[in-house]
Structure formats: structure tokens, C-alpha cells
Structure 1
């Protein structure tokens, strides 16, 4: 993702603060607006000074200030890169007016005392381990893809949607993002292309930028990825893989129909293109279409985790591989980058899969999501929203002519964090929109207040566009 030096020169020149501080401010702004992603390499001090027509010392001070704020990391031999901490979601943030963060797509926390007691009981069982052999087995290095009994638990969980899988086709990773990293490392090399939706999960953009992989954005409509666009891309030059998020797509919530899934599978077979199916939201839609991996098990890598079914802190994901030959390669990628999934966390996940806690939590999250979606439809009545009753985020289209990044920045200044459409686009510009996540507010009351703030700002944005058009 290239820097827009013209934007930087204007931003720094108009800032009214010392140039070195304006450099750090501009880096922070570009991170917030999705123009810079985690791990992205920045120019050297000398190169940036030449581009901005500033002296070396000023730019060096600017980088030092940005590093002090935790925005960038500079190391000898590797240069200067955007910090990994950006958008980690490790801390639930609140803005200056106390409104909750609606930027991170975390599952809502259901107001269900029975579920909370059940989760606490599972944690207590883990804390009550008394057998030294059992305890120490969870504190040792483990198999890169997880022990057989834990892989079997994951296979059992996925088998309702993907028949005929067994533990030999399942690997366990510390979260879906870690799974995607291993898949990108395995299926593509620097300079290769991976096709994806033109509006796609921002975490994939960060991975591609870090690994030197080019993303090719494919046209979509309100039914999701257009198979004809995929066919045209393959005919020109088959990509290394197709990445897609087919159920409750992040950020748009679009779910591919069975017809489109079958069309994509047929094209992938024709050109022998592997499919990376990122499907963490599928358990939330019990009556949804079958996964792509059920339609083309010989081509699809199916990734699903528990972060969206219980909570973002449960970093356990299961990858179904299409062929045995990929198993050792993916395990090697996991071992090299992350060593192994965390045994204590994997054991807890297996326990909750076996005793029905995962199902109970998923049902409660789905019910809470539906209640919050109802709030959104009432408060934002008349707005152009793409959503699904079972999703805990939605895609809010803005009035034509609205600057989505500026809209999101203005909302953040008022204490409500959402993400503008530029953070998700691959390639050509897209119609202005923001992703709003309903899981950040801890209560429905807080969710209502935040949605009301968004509604008020949406009206103001529409008035502003109308005034500019009239002027």
C-alpha cells in the first residue's frame, strides 16, 4: 500500500503544529483510516525528507515521536514499519464521551447468568487440575497442529456442515488470523497474487502487505462475490488462491447463495485454484448454505474458530485441509511462526466442545445479536444498511459524496469508533460506507446510545453533502 505523499505534504503544511509532530499525527491518522496497515514498511528518513521537502533532522524527529507513541517500530537492518499493535483489539476502548468502541468485530456479551456460570465452571475445572501428569502435559511443547483428541473434537464440531472429515484433515491454530498467515505462507510467495473480494477483511490486507503478496480485488454486488469476475481473473492469469469470507462477510455481512458457491467452485476446479474459506461466522447462521469445503473438499482450506462463537480471547481455530500433502507444510509454517497452539487453551476449547458450552454460547450470542440488530434497524430506520439478523456488525452506506474516512474520524472524536470503507477496499475506490460493530458495547443500553450518536451524525453528514451540492 503506497503512501500518498501529496496528502502528507498538505496535511503537514496545514497542521499548525511543528512539522515533526505533524509527521507523527499524519501516521496516526493514516493508520486510523486504513491507509497504513500493521507491518507495512515506511520510507527511510532520507527518502521521506526528499518526498516532503523537509530536512533530515525534522523527519528523524517525526519518526522518533511516532515510535514514542507506539505507532511505528524502527530496527537496524529491517527499517521502519507500522507497529503490530494497531487494531489488535486487546483493550476495549471508550471515547471522550464514554461511548464504547464499535471498531473491533467482537461477539456481544450476552446478559445470560446461566451461560456466565457455565463458562466460569469450565475455567474452574481447568484451575482445579490436581494430577501432576495432566498439569505438566499442558505446560510442555505439543504437536504443531494439536493433539489427536483435540483435533477430533474440532472435526466433530465441523462435521455437521462438512461431512466426511476426520481428525487427520484438521489442524489446530492459535486463532483464524494465525491460520491465514500459515495458508498465505504455504500457498503463495512474495510477488504472487491472491484474489479476494474488492471489499475484504482488513486483516488479510495486513498479511499480504507483510508478506509481499499482491491482492487482486474482485467485483462484488449485494449478493457477494461475482463469479464472473473470478472467472475473468482466472482466464487472464490464475491466482495463487482465492480468499473469501462467504458467510456474514466482514465487513458487508453478505452471505453467498448456494448458486454462487457452486459457480465459484466450478471455476476454481476449472483453473485448479485453491480456495481459502475464512468462515468464522458460519456457526451463527444455522440455516445457511453449506460451506465451500463441503462442495469442493479437494480444493478448499476451511478455517473456523471459536473467537466469534464465545469470545475474541479464546484463540483456538480449526483448519480443514483438502489433501494430506498440505498437512506437513502447514504444520511447518505453524511451527516456524507460532510454534504451536496454546495447550491450556486448546484443552479448554475441547472441554467446551464436548460438554455443549460452545453451542450454548453460540446460541446466546446469536440471540443477543438479533436484539441489537433490531435496535439498529429502529434507530437507523431509513438508512441504507446491509446486514443480517444473526450478524453482530453491519455495513452502513453513507450519502454519495461523503468522505467515509472523515465521517469515521468525526465519530471517533465524539467517542464512537467505527471503520471507514477505505480500510477494507482492495484496488479501485468503493462507495462510501462504514462498518459498525455491535459487540463492543457491553450492554444493550450502551449499544442504543452509540447507535443514536451514529444516527445523529449520519443526518449531519447528509445535510453537509446537500449544502455542498447546493453551494
Structure 2
């Protein structure tokens, strides 16, 4: 270690934290080997021009992260790290899921949860036509100023239970995905950790990886996110943010209890973690549990939109965020998306403020529940989770089925579903033996019944009903 010095030019924050981050990076890259002795605190302080106390705080932070050990009189040594196979929480997500970029033609789409077609196209067409007639000049130009009713629409749409955001907390966005990514881009920097559950809407973690953020995985159980493991990850990796879906979690359908939400809020506050609460499916439910934002309003960003309950093609989305974050997120959203198109933003606001969006949502829920009833009847006796109002099912596979094999078998029989790998936020060694399928995209209920019949037949026949070499 005689020729080694940390690089303190990157990153942000206090010097001790940048020093700890630099040492951790060099350990990860193999510049500093396991078993190596770090320079004495006094020597390193002299070399980089700081105090012994600053170096001591950095070394203590490394000990908290489980990277080094130190004994008085012996010095500080780098610990041997676990192999990648047993520390999945520190691994990067892939940039590609398990779905086809272009879906094979002629297959039944059970791999989407967009709002069902209940005739909302006619309503959208009318609103669209009126918008074009009323605002020809705005449509021909870029949006420079957001009218007040765009914020009012977001505040109304994101309100649920006793959560009532004000218009000055709202950021209109191009859908919920863009909303979440704008928040991550605005409030974290490359190299920062963002925490996720092992199974979640993994396209966020993949997208975050594309802009240089790292993934830390937090364990869950049958009741959802484990607050104790969240605290462990916070102590070891110091994530800046956590993405979670507290109500009707995708894909497991778990809804966090009030006690767990309160515990997560406490940990986030203790470790200064910003929480992103995706309420896209929660908006469909009648669950009375207070939103996570009510337990930690100063650090929780709520994301929602129209894709699951009104129409995915209109790209309607909004964020509700603490006032200190709003401007930065608006700027980040513009830089990452090119800005809000007037036509879509105005149509979405009109759909919400006119009451059309709420009426469409009610009709979508009726259709979703009719389809979920088909699933419950046809898959009776098998282990699956389904919830009223929510357009997907989490199916636990019986022996000897593997998730990927079952997905391929369904594909061969004309049905597209998602295996568990589609929802893994990082390289996880956990095996869930589950698949998710949606019921909202087939045009008719009879198509839903036909797809579920394929799934039922494969479950009944077992592996004997599928030959991957055929």
C-alpha cells in the first residue's frame, strides 16, 4: 500500500465520505486486495492534506459497511469479500429483461397490465379533438410554461385515502416510469446506490443502471419488505433512495401493513434515504392503509399515472414530492425526456378534471374483476395470489416446474407470460418458482379464459406436457 493514494476528485459530500467511497471503489475494482493493510490514519491524513479525525471517520464508515476490520496497535485491514454468488444485493442489474423487444405475432398477451379496452378510445378522441381546436398555437410550439390546471389534475389524481397533495407539490410527467427516473436522476449521482426489493418493477433498476446508479437489494417476506434488512442495507451501502410499491406490489401483490410502513419510514429518516412510493396499482385498490408518504412526508415522493386504470397510450403521469425537490425533478424530467408535449399533458389534465378518468377507472375495475373471477374459478386448487381490482396474478408453480421453463411452455402454446427473472432488480440467488400473468390486454373475456385454460392444462400435465426439444 506504499504507493496507493485515494482519488478524491469524484463524488460529492463531506471529505470523509468521499474518502470512504474512494477506498470502497478501489476494493471493488481489486486495486486494494483482500488482507491488505490500509495506511495508518496519521500517514494518510498527511498525504491527502486533512486531519486524522477525517480519516478516522472514513475508516469507521468502512467498518460499518463490512469492508475492513481494525484493532488498536495492529492497524486497519481489508476483509475478504463474499463471492458474488452470495452477495446479490451489491450487483448491477442487467439492461435487458426477459421479454421480447417485439412480441411474437399471434400470441395471447398475458405479459401486460395496461388498462383494459372498455371503449375509452372514443372519450379520448373527443377530448383530443377539443384540445386541438382550443389550442392550435400551443400544439405547434414547445411548452415553456405549465398551466396551473396541469398541477391541479395531478394533485387530484394522486389523492388517495387521507393523502391529499397540494398543486405546488406536483410535477407532471410522461408516465410513471419517466416520473420515477426523473426523481432518481435529480436526487442521486452516478455511483450512488438505489435500494430495491429482490422482486419488483425491475425496469426502474435497469434504467437506473443505464445512468450509472448501483442497485442494493433488500429482502422481503410474505408480509413485504423486511425493515430490519432495509436497515442493514442502509448501514452497509448507504443508499440515497429506495423504490417501493407498498400497495399491491408488482409482482407479488403484497400490501405492506401500517406497522411496516412506519418502520420503513423510521429507517429512511435515520439514514437520510429518499423514498419513491409507486402507487400505480394502489390507485386501483380500495385498501385503507395510509400511504407511506403520510409516515415520512418530508422524504417521500409519490408516483402515479393513468396507464393501469385509464389508458396507457396517453402517457399520463405525475409526481407529488416535498417542495425542496420539485424544481430539480422538473428540470431532470425535461432533460431526460425532452420536455412535456402540450397535447398529451393537456389531454391528461382534461381527462382527470372532467371526471372522465375516474369514470373510465370504474369501468376498467369492473372488467378487471370479471376477468380475475375467471382465473379464480379455473385455477382453483393451485397456489396463486389474485386481488380484486388489480389486473395480474402471481402464480407459485408446483414441482417440477421452473419459472423460465413454464414461461417457455406457455409461449409454445401461444400465451405470453412473465417469469420471475423479469422482475428481479439485480442478480439474485433467491428462487421464487413463480410467474406473473396479466388479464387486462386480451380483447375479450373468452380470450382470457382460453389463456388461463392453457396455463391450467400445463399445470395439470406437469413437465410431461412440454418438451423443450420439440
Structure 1-normalised TM-score? 0.74
The equivalent of 1:397 in structure 2 is 396
Gap change, CA 1:249 and 1:129, over 3 Å in 2: closer
Check the 8 A contact 1:139/1:343 in 2, yes or no.
Answer: no
The equivalent of 2:408 in structure 1 is 409
The equivalent of 1:442 in structure 2 is 443
Secondary structure of the corresponding residue to residue 140 of structure 2:
coil
The equivalent of 1:158 in structure 2 is 158
Q: Cα distance, 1:147 vs. partner?
A: 2.9
Determine the C-alpha separation between the residues in 2 that align with 1:358 and 1:209: 34
Where in structure 1 are there 5+ consecutive unaligned residues?
1-34, 41-81, 111-115, 466-471
The equivalent of 2:81 in structure 1 is none
Matched, 1:288 2:288: yes
Check the 8 A contact 1:94/1:101 in 2, yes or no.
Answer: no
Deviations 1:251-296 (A, max 9, x none): 1111112221111111111211110111111221123322211222
Gap change, CA 1:454 and 1:192, over 3 Å in 2: same
Q: 2:128 aligns with which of 111, 122, 126?
A: 126
Q: Cα distance, 1:225 vs. partner?
A: 1.2
Determine the C-alpha separation between the residues in 2 that align with 1:461 and 1:207: 36
Is the deviation greater in 196-205 or in 232-241?
232-241
Gap change, CA 1:352 and 1:291, over 3 Å in 2: same
Secondary structure of the corresponding residue to residue 345 of structure 2:
helix
- 1:169-248 matched pairs, under 5 angstroms: 169-248=169-248
Q: Cα distance, 1:352 vs. partner?
A: 1.4
Determine the C-alpha separation between the residues in 1 that align with 2:461 and 2:191: 44
Q: Cα distance, 1:148 vs. partner?
A: 2.1
Where in structure 2 are there 5+ consecutive unaligned residues?
1-92
Q: Cα distance, 1:164 vs. partner?
A: 5.0
Secondary structure of the corresponding residue to residue 313 of structure 1:
helix
Q: Cα distance, 1:198 vs. partner?
A: 1.1
Q: Cα distance, 1:461 vs. partner?
A: 2.7
Secondary structure of the corresponding residue to residue 215 of structure 1:
strand
Check the 8 A contact 2:369/2:388 in 1, yes or no.
Answer: yes
The equivalent of 1:137 in structure 2 is 138
Deviations 1:296-322 (A, max 9, x none): 210101100011111211201110111
Q: Cα distance, 1:121 vs. partner?
A: 4.2
Determine the C-alpha separation between the residues in 2 that align with 1:147 and 1:428: 48
Deviations 1:12-53 (A, max 9, x none): xxxxxxxxxxxxxxxxxxxxxxx9534x9xxxxxxxxxxxxx
Q: Cα distance, 1:173 vs. partner?
A: 0.6
Question: How large is the Cα RMSD of the aligned pairs?
Answer: 2.5
Matched, 1:326 2:334: no
Gap change, CA 1:127 and 1:92, over 3 Å in 2: farther
Gap change, CA 1:130 and 1:362, over 3 Å in 2: closer
Gap change, CA 1:93 and 1:122, over 3 Å in 2: same
Determine the C-alpha separation between the residues in 1 that align with 2:437 and 2:131: 41
Determine the C-alpha separation between the residues in 1 that align with 2:199 and 2:352: 33
Deviations 1:108-167 (A, max 9, x none): 223xxxxx3x752452243245767x22123321147x4322111211232344645222
The equivalent of 1:167 in structure 2 is 167
Determine the C-alpha separation between the residues in 1 that align with 2:402 and 2:261: 33
The equivalent of 1:263 in structure 2 is 263
- 1:421-460 matched pairs, under 5 angstroms: 421-425=420-424, 426=426, 427-460=428-461
Structure 2-normalised TM-score? 0.74
The equivalent of 1:310 in structure 2 is 310
Q: Cα distance, 1:199 vs. partner?
A: 0.7
* Greater Rg over alpha carbons, structure: 2
Gap change, CA 1:328 and 1:162, over 3 Å in 2: farther
Check the 8 A contact 2:224/2:256 in 1, yes or no.
Answer: yes
Determine the C-alpha separation between the residues in 1 that align with 2:133 and 2:456: 56
Q: Cα distance, 1:201 vs. partner?
A: 0.8
Check the 8 A contact 1:283/1:362 in 2, yes or no.
Answer: no
Determine the C-alpha separation between the residues in 2 that align with 1:182 and 1:130: 28
